[in-house]
Structure 1
């Protein structure tokens, strides 16, 4: 191999390594993709949907009610859940007569797939501490979503990022639903 070919080969290796390092940095710290598995977010998201997840903005702007987030499952190691933020730090979230209340006011949710939200255990009211969020799936049919109604509020540290864009299936590309107070 001539010296010129060796230098060209080394340039290719450096370029490939730089691209791999850049891709690794983007995936770990900035942006990731995830696949929806299960029906806990029906009718907003469907099993098989592919989403982009913003991992960076959580460090600057935090989260708001209505954000769809990827969380580390508090009840299953090495598992991620996709849920919607319903309650923020300092809020009192309660469920009564099929309605969700935030700080005593009915929270209107146009995206859920049923008229009622039921509790799945004996607890029907949660007061969130600093750094805690209340999350639920959009599918409120009985036993359809394992969420804060079961495992309680989640820590801000368990939120991986904000799911913001569906890129598959191609016929349904677009920003995912966001509900604000």
Structure 2
């Protein structure tokens, strides 16, 4: 490509500057790709899958069961929101109770079956735990082998939630919504 004048060079420079600026704003404040690292969300999400994360709706309230990216002290975590601020969370005989009501977790059916085959429960009994004000209680889907709010990660604030997982975009053969 041949540039005919200094004006064309400035025009290209300005266009590139604007494009990089828009890309920076979108990546920083709106949407971002993340790589799943580890097995804590299997079989819902697998290690090294790339997920699209929505950073836009962080001012709204979060929903129970939603998959989020959380900023930890040394790394980011992919977890599922289980307890909202003020909830009482109890796990008994592999059944989750929130505020005394049984909460179905259909995303755990495969892992529960594997745990039964090994002669154990997927999620050990705990509770009743009351989630502090302005905090969230999170767990992964692969509960036999992970750290989460039950055993080491503790509670998280809204400000520590980076974004909500929307869908897996790589590998291309596995493109799907995250639920």
Matched residues in 2 for 1:152 and 1:103: separation? 19
1:170 to 161, 169, 172: 172
Deviation, structure 1 residue 129: 2.6
Total equivalences in the alignment: 166
Matched residues in 2 for 1:57 and 1:50: separation? 20
Alignment of structure 1 residues 84-99 onto 2, 5 Å: 84-99=80-95
Asked if the contact 1:132/1:153 (under 8 Å) is kept, the reply is yes
Matched residues in 2 for 1:133 and 1:89: separation? 6
Deviation, structure 1 residue 171: 1.2
1:106 to 102, 115, 128: 102
Matched residues in 2 for 1:56 and 1:163: separation? 11
SS across alignment from 2:58: helix
2:141 to 119, 138, 141: 138
Deviation, structure 1 residue 105: 2.0
- Let me know the Cα RMSD of the aligned residues: 1.7
Residue equivalent to 1:46 = 46
CA offset digits 1:15-57 (Å, max 9, x no partner): 1111001000001100011000100001100001111111111
Single out whichever of 25-34 and 168-177 deviates more from structure 2. Answer: 168-177
Asked if the contact 1:126/1:152 (under 8 Å) is kept, the reply is no
Matched residues in 2 for 1:135 and 1:8: separation? 53
SS across alignment from 1:34: strand
Q: Which runs of 5+ in 1 are unaligned?
A: none
Matched residues in 2 for 1:125 and 1:145: separation? 20
Residue equivalent to 2:66 = 67
Deviation, structure 1 residue 6: 1.1
1:117 to 113, 119, 123: 123
Matched residues in 2 for 1:62 and 1:8: separation? 48
TM superposition outliers: structure 1 runs of 4+ over 6 Å: none
Asked if the contact 1:100/1:117 (under 8 Å) is kept, the reply is no
SS across alignment from 2:80: strand
Q: What TM-score results when the alignment is normalised by the length of structure 1?
A: 0.85
